[in-house]
Structure 1
Amino acid sequence: MKIGVIDYGMGNLYSVEQALLRLGCDVTITSDRDVLDKMDGYLLPGVGAFPDAMERLNELGLADYIKGLATLNKPLLGICLGMQLLYEQSNENGTTKGLNLLKGEIKRFDELDSQQKKIRIPHMGWNPLSFVTQPDWLHDLAKEESTHVYFVHSYLAQNTKQSEVLASATYAGQFVPGLVQKDAIMGMQFHPEKSGPFGKYLLAEWVRYVKERSASK
């Protein structure tokens, strides 16, 4: 099974590639749309600023390509900034339009908690995911001993559509959409490749989902 890691110059590509290779995937890191056309599933990583990322995606013609994947209902997983890019817009350093594949916008964490104490930003560390609903592609979720995953981010999705948020975390009393999905488009705000056993489980389940969809064609 072939997974295309979409390379636009702003992602921790090595760790994602290694995690997918350990799961038995044939991994290609590329920005070439002709090469991407041959893939079964797609991963959109991301580290850095939202405006810079969208500028790069637009320059490379990848923004329209990714929107086309959604139209074709092809599996796409966005990780960290890659998940945030799936939303309508971000207010990071001004307002920047996103890929508009999920309902909501990306905003910076509120700097004060409910007690008006300043919180540490970025949100960095381990938090448990609380599942609102269990999607069909996740099997044996109840058997997992822990749902802790590793977050590193200063911005989060807000004003989201309830049905698109599968699992969330909290940080300083703020609701953090952690695992999101609309049809074959999915996002993980955390880093599954750095999230120990549960992160590996989630990534493996997504890979199995892609494989099953590919086999059913």
Structure 2
Amino acid sequence: MNVTVIDYGRSNLLSVQRALEYCGAQVDLAKEPAEIETAEKLVLPGVGAFADGMAMLEKTQLDRAILQKVRQGTPLLGICLGMQMLFEQSSEGGVCKGLGLLPGRVEHLPMQGLDGEALKCPQVGWSALHFLPAAKNSVLRNVPAGGQAYFVHSYHAVPAREDDRLADVRYGGVRVCAAVQRDNVMGVQFHPEKSGEVGLSILRTFLQSTFM
């Protein structure tokens, strides 16, 4: 199982790499577009601001290489900021264009819950995943009911297509997208490398499966 992790200077590579290796993968790091061309599977991790992440991908022309590989059918898993950058745009720090692999936008988390109480931001900690019908045949298919994942984020994706949503979490009662997938493009807002057996099961499924 070979997987290429995209290194654009805005991600926690070591923990992601170790988790993938623990699941049995041979991990390569890609800093140049040419290193993506031969990838069997791609992982796009990320922490920090959307605009900074996209600027680094564009500066290194990794964005073009990613789009080309995805169009060829190569599976791509985005993690945290990496998932957000799969979408068309973000409002973080002003409107910023994303990779556009999935229709939708990225917005700030709600500042107020359904009960009217103020919410803490960023959302940090464990949350239970609420699965949607699409999860049955997705990268989440081996996660048990009631599984929890570890989140650290201030912004969240709002997919334009309901069928792209695999799971949500509740943040102050508000529905927040936790995972998405459309064919060979998938993403998780949480950190699977920090989510115990739930996260490892997702990484194993990604490594062992073919997505088209």
Short-chain TM bin: over 0.9
* 8 Å Cα contact 2:138/2:181 also seen in 1: no
**Paired residues for 1:155-170 under 5 Å:** 155-170=155-170
Q: CA deviation at 1:145?
A: 6.2
Task: Give 1:112 shift.
Answer: 1.5
3-state SS of the aligned residue for 1:125?
Answer: strand
Q: Deviations over 1:134-153 (max 9, x none)?
A: 343558737x3641000100
1:209 alignment counterpart: 209
Q: Does 1:195 align with 2:195?
A: yes
Secondary structure, aligned partner of 2:152 = strand
Contact 2:159 2:165 in 1 (8 A): no
Deviation track 1:44-67 (CA, whole Å, cap 9, x = no partner) reads: 000000001111000000111111
Matched, 1:28 2:28: yes
**Equivalent runs, 1:69-108 vs 2, <5 Å:** 69-108=69-108
Question: Percent identity over the alignment?
Answer: 38
Alpha carbon RMSD of aligned pairs, Å? 1.8
Deviation at 1:69, TM superposition (A): 2.0
Look up the SS of the partner of 2:126 in the other structure.
strand
Q: Is the 8 A contact 1:138 1:202 kept in 2?
A: yes
Q: What displacement does 1:167 show?
A: 1.1
1:38-117 to structure 2, matched below 5 A, reads 38-117=38-117
Q: Letter of the aligned partner of 1:71 in structure 2?
A: R
1:132 equivalent in structure 2: 132
Unaligned runs of 5+ in 2: none
Unaligned stretches of 5+ residues in structure 1: none
The answer to whether the 8 Å contact 1:168/1:178 transfers is yes
Change (3 A) 1:159 1:5: closer
Partner of 1:6: 6
Which residue is equivalent to 2:153?
153
Residues 1:161 and 1:145: Cα distance change in structure 2 (over 3 Å): closer
TM-score (norm 2): 0.93
TM-score with structure 1 length normalisation? 0.91
